[in-house]
Chain A
Amino acid sequence: MPGIAEYLILGAILFALGLVGFLSRRNLIVIFLSTEVMFQGVVINAVAFARLHHHMDGQVFALFLLVIAAVEAGLALGLVVLLYRRKGTLDAEAWSLMRG
């Protein structure tokens, strides 16, 4: 039976993969998909801690995390559609006006 460490390492791996995608991809949609991968890692970690402590808080936390993920997906995709209608491209580099 895998212990807590295996689940935590797996969650951290998913989180790191999502981080790499978030930092390096240029397509706005794929950037937000990478954040969803990071959410999956967090869900695994929360549930692993819930099992470790024999307590429900971790699972409830993961449940509210799903709510946040839904909110984030709706708002972020609305923004992506808005940005796409403005510039006609999904390239994140097209929105680098704040770059010094």
Chain B
Amino acid sequence: MTSMTANLLYLVFALGGAGMYLLLPKENKRQAIAGAVIGALAVVGLLTVLAARVILPDETSAFFYLFAAIAVLASSRVVTHPNPVYCAVYFVLVVIAVAALLVLQRAEFLAVALVLIYAGAILVTYLFVIMLAHQGGSPIYDRRSREPLLAVLAGFVLMAAVAGRAEDLPAPVSTSTSPVAVPTADVEGAAAQPVDSNTAAIGEAVMTRYVIVLEISGVLLLVAMVGAIALSRKNVPVERLAVPTKPIGHVGREVEPY
């Protein structure tokens, strides 16, 4: 990546930051429309800058740009939509686009696991909580964001720092093979198993080198389950106040152990 490309990327990120600033929930509908237009321009610019680097665009790169655009647009909507239900639904779109990108990178098992765990389990939990805590209308804290300019500036600084270093990375050596060159088993006869499949390689790595991590993550899930049950069984005193009025230190003592 030449430094001209990096400068163009900075420009695109500044444009996207301006669009995000206008899109973040505020009391002004017209600003949001302008932000959407600027944001869409930024996405088109990003795809153009990235596509200019590929000399011979083929089928894979077309799919990459399609799903990259879907992921960026949908995640900007997750962040900016005033209704949390729509945020969750846009997040499903992000997950599906990311899963497609993982398939393009030959990580089929992870793509399927991502869709199963995120779109299947985590999103259902989120939707449950949204429905549980739903308030009529759209409350003020969904319509007004907190310090949007500073947040966008922080995101822009992060992006500029990352994009300036991306040019140091080498191109992938060969893109047509599986990420892991597992030697095919010398099985005599017909029972030649597909050893070099992605799932088999991940399973082999998880069950040999990372078996401790696997055990730890199992324990972690158990701890989280016990913790979530203990949290939600706690009998809390209801104080229906948007603004806390009690002195500091008072709140923690009032919670009765269940």
Chain B residues with CB under 8 A of A12: 158-159, 162-163
B231 touches A79 (CB 8 A): yes
- Residues in B neighbouring A29, C-beta threshold 8 A: 84, 87, 126, 129-130, 133
- Contact (Cβ within 8 A) B169 A57: no
Which chain B residues lie closer than 8 Å to A74 at the CB level? 125, 224-225, 228
CB-CB under 8 A from B150, the residues of chain A are 23-24
Query: How many positions in chain A have a CB within 8 Å of any CB in the partner chain?
Result: 79
Do B126 and A73 touch (CB < 8 A)? Answer: yes
| Most B-side CB within 10 Å, residue of A25, A26, A55, A66 | A25
B125–A56 CB distance below 8 A: no
Interface size class of B (residues with CB under 8 A): 35 or more
Residue on A nearest B20 in the bound complex, by CB: A20
- Tell me the chain B residues, 213-258 only, with Cβ under 8 Å from chain A: 213, 217, 220-221, 224-225, 227-228, 231-232, 234, 236-244, 248, 251
List residues of chain A with CB under 8 Å of any chain B CB.
1-10, 12-21, 23-27, 29-30, 32-34, 36-37, 40, 43-44, 47-48, 50-52, 54-57, 59-60, 62-64, 66-71, 73-75, 77-82, 84-98
Contact A6/B64 with A25-B145, A47-B110, A63-B202 known, Cβ cut-off 8 Å: yes
Asked if residues A80 and B133 are in contact (CB atoms below 8 Å), the reply is yes
Add 4 more A-B contacts to A13-B16, A23-B154, A59-B198 (CB < 8 A).
Answer: A5-B166, A20-B24, A24-B79, A36-B118
